[in-house]
Amino acid sequence: DAGVIQSPRHEVTEMGQEVTLRCKPISGHDYLFWYRQTMMRGLELLIYFNNNVPIDDSGMPEDRFSAKMPNASFSTLKIQPSEPRDSAVYFCASSRTEGNTIYFGEGSWLTVV
């Protein structure tokens, strides 16, 4: 079975540009999570969806960040405008309601210069 698929794997962009990160969860999973990993703050939950509906976005750092899940097989995390402090690894993850294991993608490594 395919795991959680993220793209791009690596992105370098200039400050002020829009960044869009993409995620395809594991088929049949009804929860989708976006996490951010930095050296200073470790792993932080940004937002999660259940059945494509955002449930908790309290971890989204500010209005420059937005996430959507238009269908069960696709989600985006957008940063507009990007800033150097947004440089981090962004992980998408998914799980099933009846299971209790969250599976992670390989991450999108973002550098904003």
Partner 1 sequence: GNSVTQMEGPVTLSEEAFLTINCTYTATGYPSLFWYVQYPGEGLQLLLKATKADDKGSNKGFEATYRKETTSFHLEKGSVQVSDSAVYFCALSDQTGANNLFFGTGTRLTVIP
Q: Which residues bind partner 1 (CB under 8 A)?
A: 31, 33, 42-43, 45, 48, 50, 55-56, 91, 93, 95, 97, 99-107
User: Nearest Cα to 35, choosing from 105, 85, 99?
Assistant: 105
- Long-range residue pairs from 45-48, CB within 8 A, at least 24 positions apart, any chain: 46/77, 46/90, 47/77
* Minimum distance of partner 1 from residue 50's CB (angstroms): 7
For residues 38 and 80, which CB has a smaller minimum distance to partner 1 in the complex?
A: 38
Q: Structure tokens of 15?
A: 């400050």
* Minimum distance of partner 1 from residue 110's CB (angstroms): 14
* Minimum distance of partner 1 from residue 55's CB (angstroms): 7
For residues 33 and 65, which CB has a smaller minimum distance to partner 1 in the complex?
A: 33
For residues 54 and 64, which CB has a smaller minimum distance to partner 1 in the complex?
A: 54
Cis peptide before 84 (omega within 30 of 0): no
Q: Structure tokens of 100?
A: 């209790």
